[in-house]
Chains A and B, each alone.
Chain A
Amino acid sequence: MTKQPSPFAQPIARYLPGIFVSTLAAVVGPAAAQEAPPEFDTSTVSFEEPVPEVLTTTRLRQPKTRVPGSTTIIEGSLIRDLGIKHLYEVFRLVPGMTVNFVGSHQPVVTYHGTSHYEQRRMQVLVDGRTAHRATLSDMDWESMPVPLEMIERIEVARGPNSAAYGINAFLGTINIITRDPADTDGVEAYVSRGSRGYERTFGSLGNTGEVVDWRLTLENRQFDGFGTKRDGNEFHDGHNLNFITWDSRATLNDQANLEFRTGMADGVNQEDPSKNGGLTPIENPDIELRDYYLQSRFNYHFSENHFFHIQAAMENFRREQRYRIVAPSGVVDCLLQGTPLYASQNCFEPSGNPGDPPALFTEINSDYEDARLELEIQDTLLVNPALKLVGGAGFRKDTLRSETYFNGTVDNYQSRYFGNMEYSPWNWLTLNVGGNWERTSTTDDSYFSPRVASNFVFNDSQALRFVYSEAVRTPDPFEQDPDYGYTLRNVSPDEFSELEGFRLTMADINPYPAQTTLGEDLEEENITSYEISYFGQFQMEEALLYLEVRGFRDELRDMIGGVIKLRDWTLANSLSANQQGFEIEAMLEYPATTLRASYAYLDQDTWYTGDPILDENGNVDTKEQKEQAELLERMSVTHSGSLAIIRDLPWTMKASAAYYWADQFQRLNEQFERIDGRLSKQFFGPKYNAELALTIQHYLNRDPEMGRDDNIDHHNQFFVEAAVRF
């Protein structure tokens, strides 16, 4: 008989080991648990979905204690709270920066001066896009498509920063960061009206979504500029400009997103006939401008520690300036006979020819179109928490089309490679070593700009920095290779039609072309800069105090000086300068009260180093040489600064006051001094915010500092504002 297996035997046999183990566990379990309690991290207790880490290292900005150099950060809210009316006026808050005007109310912003007309030695970026116009080495602040309401913050890196931003970041770098498209306010409207014909109207509309965040803004800016000129006539120097901008970001996936921005500026910038060099306009030589830009940036994160971006930007600036001029008819004979106009006084007299009309009328233009194409790729690798590597490459093509300045089209190419290593071997030390190698077709040469910085950090809240940097600035295409001349069109009366299409160049005007430097090659300018700076942040019982002090010494060599005029062209690497000084920036935040102060002391010594300038007798003209050197110091002031206070008042009111001061611009030995006061009432509704404000600007000194016609007619200027957001 075959023994049948028990129906129970097999299961029980199967259960036995389990029973044994569980029994053993029950017996020894509690004792074992007491001997080795399992560790448990209570901070992770959560019964909801896990919260993702958002503000990771890659998204965080570098703390000021680790930044390799002094940087001023102006928050957008500060700009608005102080009632600042124009973008360029913001820079009066930055220690060492001066703001003034040339020509027909053309704002000039400089750091440590060295600018007598064009703003040659500073890099300006808007959201990473170059705003400084390298082809003419200048800035047009009034036509910048940056509404004040959209400024998130402005970072000003003081000191040479070519290692990071390329060869134009010679004395400093302004980086304007506008509000992120994801931070859109739904609908926002703003209206301001005030003295000197100030009118600003702004509106924005936007939305955020799972995939696309976008914002559209529209703005109109109108301003009459300065008041009455010395001759009693109104200064024709205002503007009426319209802007449209679009900012968007498409989130492609967790690792990639694509930003797209575009914008356009259009309108009229008034030019006063008396500010037009040696020519005699018979109508206002106003500039019609139309600018546009397209910018796209692809951001990709390989991982939390490795990411890169590719950016492409295209910008186009078009200026149309056409106007009629008048000249004595003697000019006609001189031009036709090849006699330089300044060779004979007769050229500026009515023609002696019988039957000739007394004057020549003709239209000339200063039109130009400046197009720029920029490509940049940048890769960031966080090797470990102590070591960060940034590297990249950039390419830029500048094209300038102008009959007047180039007699056609000029292309300029630049390519660069840059890198930076940030290494913090210990928490108390951060080292930065960076450099930029760049080649430009303007000089057909390449340049290397290094920067080395060491930050000694105490308690994570104070730092002592030592920075050494070198930078170059290459001449712009117009400085280096101009073909300057006005083409005469619509010549009248008919007797002078022979001059129709005639191109008036320096050879037709200046009898001594050998005394000019036109056609001579220019070399790069060099700066070597040393900085020792201190940054500290302190928490007091009821306040936070921030203090930054920068001491510097700069050696500027082979500086390009001289003048650019059709009649006279004396540009040369003929100047040197040494400058030293210190700057202080402090902010104290009390409950409901913020105090801010800035001060700069600049000791600048400029001297002529070019070929001797000879006077009529063949002797060295030291006076002329000194004057050329002084041109570089026109906007350099020894002392400058600002004081500001912002105070929250009851009933959601807010008051602010600011004092701006720049001591003795050398041109007219006058100082800029102004006190601003603003009172606002804010409304915080359940579905909207609104604000009404009154701003008063009081000019303590109304005498012009730079242009003799830059008069402010009244000490007090008034502005009202109304804004709503929902």
Chain B
Amino acid sequence: MKATPDIDAYRQLESSFARWRVWLCCLLVLLWLPALTFGQSAGATDVYVAGSGNDALDQYVIRQIKQSVGPAFNLTPLSSRKNLPGNRAPVLAIGPQAFSRVLQQDAKQPVLALLVKKSLVKEYEEKPGSQIGAVYKDVPLIRQALTGKAILPQATRIAMLATTESADLYEPLLEQLEAFGLEARVFITDTNEQLIPTLNRALSYGDFLLAADDEAIYNPRNIKHILLTAYRRNKILIGPNQSYVKAGSLASSYAPFPEMARQAAEALMAYRETGQFPPPGYPDQYRVQVNEQVARSLNIPLPDRDDIADTVDQILLESREGSQ
């Protein structure tokens, strides 16, 4: 059977195009090669990065960690649409969504979580077979309480607002405070109607109001009422984080990001050596963010924010040495 000229011509064209495609692919592979191998060294550990969705943040995190770990690790971004690598290589999860997403796909996936709260990590940590490392984003409440004390040295009583469910957040703190000459009380509010009356009662008890990272109470909807009522009573709010300091909270401790990245890098190195992440924990170093405008308006003489952080560190250090 003889092929028609048209069909022959088409086949010829297809054949030549196929060859051209092969060359093109080879060229691409050659061109991509240096990029793919850039920064790699022999024996480097693969780490996949589950991003937060905020590109600028993700790049910043990767860059900070690369600076700490050097060429020992290959940090490869993981597309949110793709499945996890089948080899259970460790994943660096940035933020709560990435962290949850990874563990929902595979609860046994080794994950190092960054910018996540302790409460979220605890949820997954309890599941069997979990291999979780984490650098907590939230600040230990005892540190926040002492931040308030460093600003108001005369303070002895701390008031806290919580829902019935979130009151547990403050439980460990209540036991810790006595050693620092402070006492505290949790005031429970479970409905919107109870919020302000309970806050009023809390403010009449406490020298200041201490906030944990508790979204049930401290959220964009409630914060206006809480801050305005406390301000009218000349009482200050400490915590829960930097965003709320911008809103009008007087101060909050926070871990500087390079410190969190350094700790994450240490966890990766530990994983490389032992095959396991160290237990999740808080960063070792903190700084303090203050709202100078609010302090001035309330006639509160504010120490330098580095001095506040140093004072808190000193108190905690003395306490640890004392207990040893």
Contact call B223/A684, Cβ cutoff below 8 A = no
**Chain A residue nearest in CB terms to B153:** A542
**Chain A residue nearest in CB terms to B193:** A207
**Chain B residue nearest in CB terms to A24:** B31
Indicate if A32 sits at the interface (CB-CB under 8 A): no
Indicate if A231 sits at the interface (CB-CB under 8 A): no
Contact call A49/B154, Cβ cutoff below 8 A = no
Residues of chain B within 8 A (CB-CB) of A26 are 31-32, 35-36
| Complex alpha-carbon distance, A603 and B295, angstroms | 37
Contact call A46/B243, Cβ cutoff below 8 A = yes
Indicate if A302 sits at the interface (CB-CB under 8 A): no
Indicate if B254 sits at the interface (CB-CB under 8 A): yes
Known A53-B246, A54-B248, A55-B293; judge A537-B301 contact (CB<8 A): yes
Among B56, B60, B154, B225, chain A packs the most CB atoms within 10 A around the CB of: B154
| Complex alpha-carbon distance, A63 and B244, angstroms | 21
| Complex alpha-carbon distance, A23 and B242, angstroms | 40
Q: Which of B156, B187, B234, B246 contacts A51 (CB 8 A)?
A: B246
Contact call B35/A47, Cβ cutoff below 8 A = no
Contact call A60/B297, Cβ cutoff below 8 A = yes
B219-262 interface code vs A (CB 8 A; 1 in, 0 out):
11001110111011110000001111011100000101100000
Indicate if A514 sits at the interface (CB-CB under 8 A): no
Chain B interface size band reads 35 or more
Q: Which of A19, A460, A684 contacts B205 (CB 8 A)?
A: A684
Residues of chain B within 8 A (CB-CB) of A51 are 220, 223, 243-244, 246-247
Indicate if A186 sits at the interface (CB-CB under 8 A): yes
Q: Which of A6, A180, A543, A684 contacts B232 (CB 8 A)?
A: A180
| Complex alpha-carbon distance, A183 and B301, angstroms | 26
Contact call B228/A544, Cβ cutoff below 8 A = no
Residues of chain B within 8 A (CB-CB) of A623 are none
Within the complex, the shortest CB–CB distance from A202 to chain B, in Å, comes to: 16
Within the complex, the shortest CB–CB distance from A690 to chain B, in Å, comes to: 10
| Complex alpha-carbon distance, A378 and B168, angstroms | 48
Among B204, B215, B300, chain A packs the most CB atoms within 10 A around the CB of: B204
Contact call A543/B154, Cβ cutoff below 8 A = yes
Indicate if A211 sits at the interface (CB-CB under 8 A): no
Of the 9-residue stretches A35-43, A310-318, A324-332, A569-577, which lies at the interface with chain B? A35-43
Residues of chain B within 8 A (CB-CB) of A77 are 204, 233
Q: A residues 58-79 with Cβ under 8 Å of B?
A: 59-65, 75, 77
Of the 9-residue stretches A163-171, A279-287, A402-410, A588-596, which lies at the interface with chain B? A588-596
Contact call A208/B247, Cβ cutoff below 8 A = no
Within the complex, the shortest CB–CB distance from A707 to chain B, in Å, comes to: 38
Indicate if A379 sits at the interface (CB-CB under 8 A): no
Indicate if A21 sits at the interface (CB-CB under 8 A): no
Known A59-B228, A686-B188; judge A42-B155 contact (CB<8 A): no
B166-205 interface code vs A (CB 8 A; 1 in, 0 out):
0000000000000001000101100001111100110011
**Chain A residue nearest in CB terms to B296:** A63
B141-167 interface code vs A (CB 8 A; 1 in, 0 out):
000000000001111110000000000
Residues of chain B within 8 A (CB-CB) of A725 are 197, 200-201
Within the complex, the shortest CB–CB distance from A646 to chain B, in Å, comes to: 12
Contact call A182/B28, Cβ cutoff below 8 A = no
Known A51-B223, A183-B229; judge A64-B299 contact (CB<8 A): yes
| Complex alpha-carbon distance, A26 and B36, angstroms | 8
Contact call B289/A19, Cβ cutoff below 8 A = no
Contact call B243/A539, Cβ cutoff below 8 A = no
**Chain A residue nearest in CB terms to B256:** A42
Q: A residues 161-209 with Cβ under 8 Å of B?
A: 179-180, 182-186, 207-208
| Complex alpha-carbon distance, A336 and B174, angstroms | 86
Indicate if B51 sits at the interface (CB-CB under 8 A): no
Indicate if A344 sits at the interface (CB-CB under 8 A): no
Residues of chain B within 8 A (CB-CB) of A50 are 220, 243
Contact call A543/B153, Cβ cutoff below 8 A = yes
Known A40-B57, A537-B299, A689-B204; judge A55-B197 contact (CB<8 A): no
Residues of chain A within 8 A (CB-CB) of B242 are 43-44
Contact call B291/A48, Cβ cutoff below 8 A = no
Residues of chain A within 8 A (CB-CB) of B13 are 6
Within the complex, the shortest CB–CB distance from A681 to chain B, in Å, comes to: 14
Contact call A57/B293, Cβ cutoff below 8 A = yes
Within the complex, the shortest CB–CB distance from A85 to chain B, in Å, comes to: 20
Contact call B56/A38, Cβ cutoff below 8 A = yes
Q: A residues 562-612 with Cβ under 8 Å of B?
A: 589-594
Indicate if A426 sits at the interface (CB-CB under 8 A): no
Known A46-B243, A183-B196, A725-B201; judge A61-B297 contact (CB<8 A): yes
Residues of chain A within 8 A (CB-CB) of B6 are 1
Lowest 8 A-B CB distances belong to which pairs?
A: A55-B248, A26-B35, A186-B197, A42-B257, A60-B297, A589-B154, A40-B60, A54-B227
Q: A50-B220, A186-B194 are in contact. List 12 more A-B contacts (CB 8 A).
A: A27-B31, A40-B60, A43-B242, A49-B219, A54-B227, A55-B231, A185-B200, A460-B301, A461-B301, A539-B301, A544-B300, A591-B156
A-B CB contact pairs (8 Å), 17 listed:
A19-B28, A23-B31, A27-B34, A38-B60, A42-B60, A45-B57, A49-B219, A49-B220, A52-B247, A54-B247, A60-B293, A182-B229, A207-B193, A537-B300, A591-B156, A684-B201, A689-B205
